[in-house]
Amino acid sequence: MSSRPISTSIPEPSFTAPVTVSFWQAFLFWLKLGFISFGGPAGQIALMHQELVERRRWISDRRFLHALNYCMLLPGPEAQQLATYIGWLMHRSWGGIVAGALFVLPSLLLLIGLSWIYVAFGELPLVAGLFYGIKPAVTAIVFQAAHRIGSRALKNSSLLAIAAAAFCAIFAFGLPFPLIVAAAALIGYLGGRMAPDSFQLGGGHGKAGKSFGPALIDDDTPTPEHARFGWGRLARVLGAGGLLWLLPMGWLSARYGWDHAWTQMSWFFTKAALLTFGGAYAVLPYVFQGAVDHYGWLTPAQMMDGLALGETTPGPLIMVVAFVGFVGGYVKALLGPDSLFLAGAVAATLVSWFTFLPSFVFILAGGPFIESTHNDLKFTAPLTAITAAVVGVILNLALFFGYHVLWPHGFDASFDWVSALIALGAAIALFRFKLNVIHVIAGCAVIGFAVRALP
């Protein structure tokens, strides 16, 4: 693998087929990606497309987009699942496991450290002021994510109507995520038969088919042997995944009991991994309702602060679950008052394990089937419709966070004009001046500290 830094510009196309990529070359790339994958799911997917499709040409544009649309269908973090899929396609199961794990591990370690700083020193005026400015910035960032993904996904009136219906379904009627996704998939399936031009592959992330030169895994590259469907292979993957879930869950239940916080965290985040669709932004309302309202592991303000930390660290945004686990384990002193950090670190690791384990199973079990359908519209059209529905879900999340920032004590309390102005400034910086997310968060944090420091 080249030791040159990752380029931010698209290179001139080269039409020389790339050489074979070894497992360890890929390992080094996935390790680097784990430390530089900022920008939320849209930014991470764009970075992978630039590196893997445009620059390195490990996979063609069409095959990349087909894998992405499958990952958009799944519950869980689509960018991490996409890395797992491509790693698996290139280097079998261990390639997928390494790619997916390295996408998460740097973020987990960073968030454990940042979460400790937050809970141990968060009451200090400096830290409180910084987070006062960060919360409105996060609201603007989620609105920008809805706009950014929507501008790429909603290419025609049919997909726009699906997004609007999904927003109404969750905002006005509170319908569950799985039902919205199932309805979108059904609409996409029927639409692919009746109006195929409106549901072509790549509707969510640009039009497929642009050539950046020959790729290792090209449009017409035969599916490798390990990626072909087989009932025996499927049974082995499902069996291994079941054991990796059952053994730690069984031990926690036997050692601490079903009602212990660690056991309940593991069970709750298993459900979050399986029952929430649309990537990190769609998962967060479900996590908020469970972790804050039902279990009381942390407060609404702490949840917003955790999202801010998630936005400023590499890796998938859903790594905010590590913050939730750490705060819950630390505050509840699950290992006693003398081991607060350890209790938080164990909780963060547990919730990360149970959140991401299903993603690996989905890719390793479902990947062979998806590889057999990359030229079949009846399979790709539902995924395109689901991508459109996700836009409506993300818009709902943006309003959800906006409410908690602008009316922090409820609609009956006063409107926070200062937070509104900070959010407006962040939105202008993001939409009008295209500033980097981390720079916007940093600037708003300084403003928040300055406001809180005023007498």
- CA distances from residue 198 to 62, 154, 156, 224 in whole angstroms, order as listed: 17, 10, 7, 31
Give me Rg for the CA atoms of the chain. 22
373 DSSP 8-state letter = T
- CA distances from residue 225 to 83, 278, 371 in whole angstroms, order as listed: 20, 30, 11
C-alpha distance across the termini of the chain, in Å: 55
- Per the structure block, which two tokens stand in for 261? 């916080």
Residue whose structure tokens are 């469970």: 290
DSSP 295-315: S-SS-HHHHHHHHHHHHTSSS
- Tell me which residue of 290, 269, 281, 326 sits closest to 111, measured CA to CA: 326
Residue type at 161?
Answer: A
What is the pLDDT at residue 5? 44
Distance CA 366, CA 234 (A): 8
- Contact between 15 and 213 under an 8 Å Cβ cutoff? The reply is yes
Phi and psi at residue 75, to the nearest 5°: -70, 145
H-run or E-run covering 352: helix 340-371
Taking residue 97's Cβ as centre, other Cβ atoms within 10 Å add up to 17
Residues 6+ apart with CB under 8 A from 379: 370, 373
The domain limits of the chain are: 23-209+231-453
- Per the structure block, which two tokens stand in for 127? 């830290």
Q: What share of the chain is helix, strand, coil (3-state, %, to 5)?
A: 75, 0, 25
- Tell me which residue of 318, 305, 310 sits closest to 276, measured CA to CA: 318
Distance CA 347, CA 266 (A): 9
75 bridge partner residues? 277
- CA distances from residue 436 to 43, 45, 433, 454 in whole angstroms, order as listed: 11, 16, 9, 28
Distance CA 453, CA 403 (A): 25
Angle at 215 between CA 210 and CA 221, to 5 degrees: 100
Residues 6+ apart with CB under 8 A from 378: 189, 192, 193
**Tens-digit pLDDT profile for the chain (455 aa)?**
444 444 444 444 455 656 788 999 999 999 989 987 866 676 688 788 888 988 888 998 888 888 887 887 788 888 899 999 999 999 999 999 999 999 999 999 999 998 999 898 876 777 778 888 888 887 888 788 778 778 877 889 999 999 999 999 988 887 876 688 789 989 998 998 888 888 875 444 444 445 667 888 888 888 888 888 889 999 999 999 999 999 999 999 999 999 999 999 999 999 988 876 666 666 777 788 789 888 999 988 788 788 778 877 888 888 999 999 999 999 999 999 999 999 999 999 999 999 999 999 999 999 998 887 655 656 668 878 877 887 887 788 778 778 878 888 778 888 999 999 999 999 999 999 988 777 888 899 899 999 988 76
